[in-house]
């Protein structure tokens, strides 16, 4: 068993797709730690705001197999592949951290995930795992968030989506 920390995001009917994804994660992996849902501007392109959250789970799958399972989850929930890298999407799910591993693999597997340098990944991670240490720099998620220039990437809790996701867990 490994402890995996995931980032989930959507900017197309986000409440629907994030809720379905969290429900499916719970069915497959059991108990989840789920952050509030945050609204933020799209990064890398002009588009609708994204809604993002973090989920922690215990997985019987190693990182490669979990990554494959998550890609299939995205596909089942309307993810269209092959277009622009930075574009609107129904569902984007990435492994941010997995135990204390540092690795690169097939299918854009990158642990720790580079997007951990963005507020939309870091803040939800700090919410669910404040004492978790980054496997490279050793700093806790809470320390990383406290040092983050929060005004550079504003976030706001999306209460309606947070409630909707909680109902579907």
Catalytic residue, from 26, 28, 58, 94: name it: 94
DSSP-assigned states of every residue in 58-93: EESS-HHHHHHHHHHHHHHTT---SS-SS---S-EE
Query: 89 catalytic, yes or no?
Result: yes
Catalytic residue among 39, 76, 79, 139: 79
* Nearest in space to 9 (alpha carbons), one of 46, 44, 55: 55
Distances in Å between the Cα of 153 and the Cα atoms of 13, 21, 98, 109, 120 are 22, 25, 25, 24, 8
39, 46, 65, 92: the active-site residue: 92
CA distances from 82 to 41, 79, 87 (A): 23, 10, 11
Task: Determine whether 28 is an active site residue.
Answer: no
Catalytic residue at 94?
A: yes
Q: Is 3 a catalytic residue?
A: no
Farthest CA pair distance, the chain: 39
Catalytic residue among 13, 75, 89, 158: 89
Catalytic site positions? 79, 89, 92, 94
């Amino acid at each position: 068993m490994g402890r995996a920390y995931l980032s989930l995001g959507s900017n197309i009917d986000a409440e629907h797709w994030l809720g379905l994804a969290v429900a499916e994660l719970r069915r497959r992996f059991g108990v989840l730690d789920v952050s509030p849902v945050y609204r933020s501007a799209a990064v890398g392109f002009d588009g609708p705001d994204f809604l993002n959250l973090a989920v922690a789970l215990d997985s019987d799958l190693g990182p490669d197999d979990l990554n494959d399972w998550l890609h299939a989850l995205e596909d089942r929930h309307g993810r269209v592949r092959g277009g622009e890298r930075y574009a609107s999407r129904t569902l984007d799910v990435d492994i941010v951290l997995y135990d204390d591993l540092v690795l690169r693999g097939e299918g854009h597997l990158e642990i720790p995930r580079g997007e951990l340098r963005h507020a939309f990944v870091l803040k939800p991670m700090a919410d669910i795992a404040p004492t978790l240490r980054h496997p490279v720099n050793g700093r806790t998620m809470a320390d990383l968030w406290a040092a983050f220039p929060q005004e550079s990437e504003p976030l706001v809790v999306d209460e309606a989506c947070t409630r909707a996701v909680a109902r579907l867990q």
